Amino acid sequence: MRVGCPKEIKNNEFRVGLTPGSVREYVAHGHEVIVETNAGLGIDADDGVYQAAGAKIVATAKDVFDQSDMIVKVKEPQPSEWAMLREDQILYTYLHLAPDPEQTKGLVESGCTAVAYETVTDDHGGLPLLAPMSEVAGRLAIQAGATALEKVYGGRGVMLGGVPGVLPGKVTIIGGGVVGLNAAKMAAGLGAEVTMLDRSIPRLRQLDDIFNGRVRTRFSTIEALEQEVFSADLTIGAVLIAGAAAPKLVTREMLSGMKKGSVIVDVAIDQGGCFETSHPTTHSEPTFEVDGVIHYCVANMPGAVPVTSAHALNNATLHYGLQLADKGLKAIAEDRHLRAGLNVHRGRITNKPVADALGYELAEADTVLKVA
């Protein structure tokens, strides 16, 4: 198959759909890989590195789309990109279609087959192509929070690790999923005092086993939440209720009980945030202050570290990408996890939440895939 990777064009997106390491894997499977010039500059990989990995470099995105059977990207296609997709093409990327009627219409009209990273599943009920970005965001949350705690950035001037003879900072993490676990590892690694809250008792048991007493766990009630948030120097918001907006667990009223100059990092901001006072911010202006509490609410945190993020994403996407390239639509027909990733096929919506959200008739993936 001819596999194409255009340069990402969404504002401030520096990741790339295929790293040179992934290109080598596709080439080793006998595929031709076509990469747009400078596609990898954001991760320090120039055209020469891609050529050495076996890619053919082309001048424009149009060349990539024209010459490829399958397109591998990071972000959802932009209007100029969905106009270049065609019926016999597979698109493999993040899509997030439910809140995006324009893009959905563009993909439906293109006739392409679109597999969304965010809905591919695994045997454990997880979303394996979403998890690496939660890992990055969770770890970054502590770096970002520690910086915001510095006095010059408006924070209360506490160092998370403390020093011998001075107590460490206190970190409260609301939500003990992928983001929460990774934030806790970083915070504990720095020497902070860490408490995690979750609603799932089995998950709290797992966390207790993982940290073996190094991190405190607490069932998340209003009372427990207030006690932990009021005493924290840094609070991380990391809850997720699948398919729903994040619950507003920390109200505006509760901010008055928090320490002045303490910091919240609301990682769940991409689902609306779990602090009532949160609103999305960008990497160029990541924080704002409400009632003396510094809020960090960047909606695309992994974008700050494209080198790490692009490699983490490629590690997760490579397996299914190779299946798609090796077998085409048959790979989707054969594998239920890849089928869960199928969102659009030849003008039909095959993902129920997307169909429900945007008023399309659902076409079951099993029935629309007529593979010889």
Ligand X SMILES: NC(=O)c1ccc[n+]([C@@H]2O[C@H](COP(=O)([O-])OP(=O)(O)OC[C@H]3O[C@@H](n4cnc5c(N)ncnc54)[C@H](O)[C@@H]3O)[C@@H](O)[C@H]2O)c1
Amino acid at 103: Q
- Contact between 203 and ligand X (CB under 6 A)? yes
Q: Bridge-partner residues for 92, per DSSP?
A: 72, 115
- 95 part of the interface to ligand X, by CB under 6 A: no
DSSP H helical ranges for 89-177 = 101-110, 131-148
Whole-number minimum distance, CB 273 to ligand X, in Å? 9
96 among known catalytic residues: yes
Candidate residues 268, 293, 325, 369; the one interacting with ligand X per rule CB under 6 A: 268
Candidate residues 27, 49, 224, 299; the one interacting with ligand X per rule CB under 6 A: 299
The least distance separating ligand X from the CB of residue 11, rounded to whole angstroms, comes to: 15
Q: Please identify which residue in 108, 267, 329, 369 interacts with ligand X, judged by CB under 6 A.
A: 267
Identified catalytic residue from 31, 270, 295, 337: 270
Q: Should residue 199 be labelled a site residue for ligand X when binding is judged by CB under 6 A? A: yes
Burial of 205 (0-12, 13-18, 19+ CB in 10 A): exposed
The CB-of-68 to ligand X minimum distance in angstroms stands at 29
Contact 17, 86 (CB under 8 A): no
Residues 111-129: b if buried by 16+ CB within 10 A, e if exposed:
bbbbbbbbbbbeeeeebbb
Q: In what order do the strands lie in the sheet with 56-58?
A: 56-58, 32-36, 2-5, 70-72, 90-93, 113-116, 342-345, 348-349
Q: Which of 75, 80, 89, 64 is nearest to 14 (CA)?
A: 75
71 is a site residue for ligand X (CB under 6 A): no
Q: Indicate the burial class of 358 (C-beta count within 10 angstroms; 0-12, 13-18, 19 or more).
A: middle
User: Which residue in 77, 132, 177, 341 binds ligand X (CB under 6 A)?
Assistant: 177
73 near 5, Cβ under 8 Å? yes
Compare residues 79 and 125 and give the one whose CB is closer to ligand X. Answer: 125
**What does the DSSP 8-state code read for residue 282?**
B
- List the structure tokens of 339: 């089928």
Q: Is 271 in the site for ligand X (CB under 6 A)?
A: yes
With 0-12 / 13-18 / 19 or more C-beta atoms within 10 angstroms meaning exposed / middle / buried, residue 45 is buried
Binding status of residue 224 toward ligand X by CB under 6 A: no
CB of 207 to ligand X, least distance (A): 9
Which of the following is catalytic: 29, 47, 63, 96? 96
Q: Nearest residue to ligand X, using CB?
A: 177
- Which listed residue (52, 201, 241, 371) binds ligand X by CB under 6 A? 241
Choosing from 22, 93, 220, 277, the residue that interacts with ligand X (CB under 6 A) is 220
**Which residue's CB is nearer to ligand X, number 53 or number 133?**
133
Query: Measured from the CB atom, is 176 or 261 closer to ligand X?
Result: 176
Stretch that binds ligand X, among 39-47, 176-184, 288-296, 325-333 (CB under 6 A): 176-184
C-beta of 59 vs 241, nearer to ligand X = 241
Phi, psi (5° rounding) for residue 170? -110, 125
Binding status of residue 176 toward ligand X by CB under 6 A: yes
Q: Answer yes or no: 209 catalytic.
A: no
| Residue of 11, 118, 18, 130 lying closest to 68 (CA atoms) | 18
Selected range binding ligand X among 36-44, 80-88, 295-303, 350-358, rule: CB under 6 A: 295-303
Distance in Å from the first CA to the final CA of the chain: 17
Q: Given the rule CB under 6 A, which residues bind ligand X?
A: 133-134, 137, 174-180, 197-200, 203, 220, 238-241, 246-247, 249, 267-271, 299-302
Residues that are catalytic: 96, 270
